[in-house]
Structure 1
Amino acid sequence: MSEPTIEPPVPSHPISFVVTDDLRRSRLTVFFRLLLVIPHLIVVALWAIAALFALLAAWFAALFTGRVPAGLHDFLASYLRYSTRVTAYAYLIADPFPPFGSGGSYPLDVTIAPPQTQGRLSVFFRLLLAIPALALSNVFRSVNQIVTCLGWFYALFTGSMHESLRDLSAWLLRFETQTYGYVLLLTPRYPSLSGTPKV
């Protein structure tokens, strides 16, 4: 009689979410959410310019050494973490006004693994390889905007976000964040449709 084989656990994705939001929403900040997020969008846009130059440097470094230097990885990870928090705030996934920058805690926390060895060929063709994920991410963003619209009305009238809307929105945003993390060379792992954000 042979012993049953035990499958090793599937490793989690190097970019993951933890959602600790309590679903309560301030009706006033929900109503003015698009106006309130403008200062953060300006910071994200300015940071994106710097991130583009950092990505270029990271691409050359990874192409020659097979890994992104820790300083560049940390800078790009901070950018991704912050822009994801801003998106979570805009999409009503989290309620408190996010801090400027990626430090501190927030009801939607993005964890990003340290730099990993990456195949030089996949680094060289990263943008090409990312096209299917970017296309799906774009579709998910459109769906997320519809979910946010529904959540906006729900939160405006009830003072809370419906849990299923919040969870769907977080799942869609998680895929988008993993996609951008792949493009930004933060991980060699392709974005995953499986799994859900930890709530």
Structure 2
Amino acid sequence: MMQPETCPVRIRGDLDPALSRWQWLVKWILSIPHYIVLFFLTIAVVVVWVIAFFAILITGKYPPALFDFSVGVMRWRWRVAFYSLTALGTDKYPPFSLRSKPEYPADLEIDYPERLSRGLVLVKWWLLAIPHYLILFAFFSAGWRAFPLNPNNSVVAYPVPPLIVILVVIALVGLVFTGRYPKGLYDFVIGINRWAIRVRAYSTLLRDEYPPFRLDIGAA
């Protein structure tokens, strides 16, 4: 089993020890410029994925420039998520950059593969990744809960937010009242994010190693 530090997909998230109790209320607004840029970058990543698919199928290699671009977009997305969405682990505004920024609390590195399987490229992004998709669906997707009302047996349904949202909200309650982000919740939230990013790296053809079914907790 690969340890986190030797895994070809490495996700870092360093919790800010002095988080503002209230800045999280506006982070999603402050991040709007990033959301706009990432919208167009994501469209470009889809085009890159198609090109890379055929390049791997024919040559067994992911074109290096396209690889760096795809990793850069994934890195950018992770920094924004860490700041404003699925972790809220820092108050430091994320940079507008595809490059690695070691000084920023969140970062992502993916080792470039010298060879990729021509056969796996046909099935890994949809068929082989299905077990992970099902688990991540439970982590990141909302649902509905229904219960009957007596005596007329009518049913009332109400939405249930994604697990990742529930965990972050609980952490924010702790932050507001104590000034601290609960460490146990933070580790769990980071573990979920790390799992999702490794599956994304696999399904976007960046690596052939099958993602582990585990939450690697901690900053790095």
Normalising by structure 1, we get a TM-score of: 0.87
Paired position in structure 1 for 2:115: 117
Q: Which residue of 1 aligns with 2:206?
A: 186
Residue type of the alignment partner of 1:49: I
| Letter matched to residue 92 of structure 1 | L
Equivalent residue number for residue 144 of structure 1: 164
CA–CA distance in structure 2, aligned partners of residues 193 and 57 of structure 1: 29
CA positional deviation for 1:34: 2.5
Displacement of 1:162: 1.4
Structure 2 residue 154 is matched with structure 1 residue 156: no
Partner of 1:14: 8
- In structure 1, the gaps of 5 or more residues are 1-8
Query: Are residue 135 (structure 1) and residue 134 (structure 2) matched?
Result: yes
Further displaced range: 180-189 or 9-18: 9-18
* Contact residue 137 and residue 179 of structure 1 kept, 8 A: no
Verify: 1:76 aligned to 2:63, yes or no. Answer: no
Q: Is the 8 A contact 1:64 1:120 kept in 2?
A: yes
Describe the shift of the 1:100–1:20 C-alpha distance in structure 2 as closer, same or farther (beyond 3 A): same
The structure-2 alpha-carbon separation of the partners of 1:93 and 1:193, relative to structure 1 and needing over 3 Å to count, comes to farther
**Candidates 193, 196, 199, aligned match of 2:217:** 196
C-alpha change, 1:102 and 1:152, in structure 2 (3 Å) is: farther
Which residue does the alignment assign to 2:35?
A: 41
**Which protein, 1 or 2, shows the higher relative CO under an 8 Å CA cutoff with sep ≥ 6?**
1
Question: More deviation in 131-140 or 175-184?
Answer: 131-140
Q: Which moved more, 1:151-160 or 1:68-77?
A: 151-160
The answer on whether the counterparts of 1:88 and 1:94 sit within 8 Å (CA) in structure 2 is yes
The structure carrying a bigger strand percent of its residues is 2
Structure 2 residue runs without a partner (length 5+) = 141-161
1:92-127 deviation digits (Å, cap 9, x = unpaired): 133311111233232122121113422111101132
Residues 121, 14 of structure 1: CA spacing in aligned structure 2 closer, same or farther, 3 A cutoff? same
Work out the CA distance in 1 between the residues paired with 2:10 and 2:184: 19
- Alignment match, 2:92: 96
3-state SS of 1:18 partner: strand
- Tell me if structure 2 keeps the 8 A contact 1:69–1:115: no
* Cα deviations by residue, 1:51-99 (Å, 9 ceiling, x for unpaired): 0001111111011111201111101000111111111112313331111
Question: Which residue identity does 1:57 align to in structure 2?
Answer: I
The answer as to whether partners of 2:57 and 2:121 remain within 8 angstroms in 1 is yes
> Which has the larger Rg?
2
Q: Secondary structure at the match of 1:101?
A: coil
Aligned Cα root-mean-square deviation (Å): 1.9
